[in-house]
Amino acid sequence: MNIVLLGAPGSGKGTMAQKLAVELNIPQISTGDIFRKNLREETPLGIQIKNIMASGQLVPDEITIEIVKNRLAEPDCANGYILDGFPRSLVQAAALDTFQNIDIAVNLDVDEEAIVARLSGRRFCPDCNGTFHVSTLNGANVCPACGGKLIVREDDTEATVRNRLAVYNKTTLPLVEYYTEQGKIATVDGNGSIAEVYARVISLLKK
Ligand code: AP5
Ligand code: MG
Ligand code: ZN
């Protein structure tokens, strides 16, 4: 199954994608994770996008589309994949439709207060891309999955979060209508615990 996860920053796309990838045995393709890896490794792409990411703007469509197109052509995507954070503009969505068939776009709908609470407590593991929340770590600063050192994402500052939400509302939210018109949208209540939201998502996908 070829799945797109839609939702605001902090709506839980990465959290759900990681669990779905294990259960459905298909890869999670996170453009954010790909870009952050390039930042850390200071590749030419990483240097080019550093300021864009830090301010919460979108990386240019041409760059992003090319990366995703190449990634989806790899053999591990042959039986399906979960797109986490792509597409996030109408240009990206239209481009995706020229080289892939999407089965479903799951839209995680979360209240704004919950989003702020989630992002302000997020911890990220650069070693395995694991995403956690301080409230579940009992004060530890190591990744429960791989033992790596957890960090706070550079774009989780208050000003950048505000900008990311504004960019989402302006540029990404129109994708809900785009996939509705294609008859592919499935909106899920993304409020509640991780287990509750995951149960909603998986029951929808297994229908
Ligand atoms: P990206 O990495 O995609 O960030 P984002 O869309 O802002 O989304 P987040 O990763 O912040 O949130 P999420 O929905 O994955 O939530 P998470 O599961 O972590 O993009 C970063 C940047 O890269 C962009 O700003 C842009 O510059 C660039 N970029 C990426 N893709 C691009 C594209 N296609 N085009 C152009 N530029 C692009 O959860 C958040 C927190 O909440 C965690 O702490 C988690 O533990 C917790 N949590 C999750 N679910 C629950 C729950 N149900 N209950 C309680 N806590 C929960
Ligand atoms: Mg994410
Ligand atoms: Zn880890």
Q: Are 72 and 30 contacting, i.e. CB atoms less than 8 angstroms apart?
A: no
pTM for this structure? 0.96
Domain coordinates of the chain in residue numbers? 2-111+158-206
- Tokens read off for 77: 């995507």
Omega cis (within 30) before 44: no
Residue 120: both structure tokens together: 């302000």
Q: Whose CA is nearest to atom 7 of ligand 1?
A: 9
Q: What is the Å distance from ligand 2's center to 103 Cα?
A: 21
Could you confirm whether domain 2-111+158-206 is CATH 3.90.1570.10?
A: no
pLDDT digits (tens, 9 = 90+) for 134-168: 999 999 999 999 999 999 999 999 899 999 999 99
pLDDT in tens, 65-75: 999 999 999 99
- What residue's CA is closest to ligand 1, atom 43? 122
For residue 144, the cross-strand partners are none
